[in-house]
Structures are given as structure tokens and as C-alpha cells.
Structure 1
């Protein structure tokens, strides 16, 4: 399937999910991450804050678990810059004040900046992914540009409410592939070069 067609289909499918089902699947994603990845070994985890009206995976349950159970793991979140092309990243704590940006995404106010090179793992929002680790997002390229700034050993982890499609036909070599993608049912791992 082509990215544009997959994007439309995935958006429609996700918007049709009842809020309670998004919450249930999001909780399962949290469990998958904490059960199958070495979260306690990370110093910095980058987490996107969800856009509720887009029915994105809700990362707030994960954040609350991290702050309560793994306080040594620091959290960074993205902030879209005025150029509408780039992201900067800021430390999020339970006490960080937040304001909503024009897309309804909470952004920290007055927080310390975190450099991409500091990150051990990045949770990536996506609409769909395939069995080779390619992903489809909203099409603006924010995460492709950001992930190229991260260390090569930083884990690129997708969060998906749905299982993968077999293949994204128009994936190209410049797309930054996932190391793994978490779904409510399992963790999909991707080998380099597959």
C-alpha cells in the first residue's frame, strides 16, 4: 500500500475507535514497553504527548508509571518550532507547567532543553508501520529530521494501536526505520538492512 493511501485509511480507522478502546490499547502498550525493553537502564527517554482528538496512543499512563516506579529515567518531550519544520526537546517532570499548542499538543513551559544526542530511546508516534520497520506518520517529516540527530545506538520505538501492514510500497532509503514497534499484542523487532 502507498503511504498516502495508508495514511488516509489509518486515520479513518483510528478515529473510529471509541475512546475507551484507545485507553485500553494504550495501557497495553505501556505494559509491553515496561515488560520487554530495558527501560530501567535508560537515562533519557523521549516521549510524545498525545493529540487526544486524533486518538493517538495515550502516553500519560506510561509517564505516571515512569515517575512513580523508575524515577532515574528522565523524560524529554518535543516542541514544534516556529519554522514548522523542526523540533526541540525539553525535560518533562510531574511539576512541569504545560500549555496547548495550536494542534492541541501539550508543551512544557520553562523546562530545560535536552539535546537529541542525550537520548537513549525515542517513542515515535505513527499512523501505520510495515513488517520491515518502515512507518507512516502525518507526512511532515518532523521525526525523520529529528531521528537523524540522535545517536546511532538510540532505540527508535514506534507505538501503534494496530498491527503492521505487510509492506509500505513507497518507503525509500531516506526514511528512518524503526528498531521495534510496540502494539497492544506484541513487540515487533526489525533487523538492520531487512
Structure 2
């Protein structure tokens, strides 16, 4: 179902409010779910892409304390119009990326083959894995490349923002599943 940008913009406003309200109630449960399920979900090797939390997003940085994930985390950085992942550990220097979000300031850019999975914040997600984000298209452009599309990607979204179907555009790339306060859910093709 293709959509107009105005309908997605209206949904963004609606789900931003809905997610913020839900986050206050279930944010800690989503973090607990990540702490319980990520070590088993992520392959024994490779980096786990998380994100620097913006207001209203679940803060997953606590997973850095899990021994199986220590030294395996990565944060995204937008640089010169491209989303890339760099290794990250708590206390490492950060600087604003091209969008103003804190990101690693140094280190080698990681390739898709170095990633075990990606966790991406969502305003909403439908049961086929289509995510409603902020509208920048960064993750869709990254995951349009076959090598990045092969990396399992999970949207982080409270149950209150999980819907049957969202409008989508031809460039939208579905996610492999989602993480919420009820656990980790994989979409079976």
C-alpha cells in the first residue's frame, strides 16, 4: 500500500505521542527484554548495532554490561549523507554526527559482514516488518544494499505501537522482527 508523505507525517505525529506515553510505562520492560533475549539472538560473533536514544526512545545502552555483548556494540553515524556503523563501548568519545546525534568519533567503519544484528528505534511497526521512523530514510537506504539486508534487523517498539498494516513506499525495507516489552519476535517469511 503506497502512501502520500502527508499521511505518513500525520502517523508520525500520532505514533510519536503514543510511543512516548507507552515508553513511560514499558520502557524498563523493553530494556529487560533486551537483556534477556539479545545474548541468544545475536550470533556468537559480530557487532550488535544499537542506537543513541532520542527522547521517547528505549535506551538500550545497558546491554553493554552483558558479558556476551561486551566489546561487540556499535552505534550508527550519519556522515556525508550515509549511515554507517562504528564500534562503541561505554565511555568512548562521542561527537555529534551530521544530524546532531552523538556517535563514535573514531574507529573503523564496520561492514555488513561484521554485524550480527541491528536494533533500530521505531515510531510504529506493522506485523509484516514495515517500520515507521522519523522520515529520513537512513535505515532504508542502508538496508537496500543486499549485504546489509542480510543482517537481521529488529525494530524496537512498544506493543502500543505495533499495528496490522502501515502505509509504505516502494523503497521501504521490512525488518526481520521486533523487540518489545513482551520479548523478541521474529517474522517468518
Residue 44 of structure 1 corresponds to 47
Paired residue total: 182
1:70 lines up with 2:71 in the alignment: no
Residue 173 of structure 2 corresponds to 176
Residue 80 of structure 1 corresponds to 78
Residue 14 of structure 2 corresponds to 9
1:159 lines up with 2:156 in the alignment: yes
- Aligned to 2:118, the other structure's residue is in SS state strand
Which structure 1 segments of 5+ residues have no match? none
Normalised by the length of structure 2, the TM-score is 0.81
Normalised by the length of structure 1, the TM-score is 0.79
Change over 3 Å in CA distance of 1:145–1:47 after alignment to 2: same
Which structure 2 segments of 5+ residues have no match? none
1:119 lines up with 2:123 in the alignment: no
- Aligned to 2:139, the other structure's residue is in SS state helix
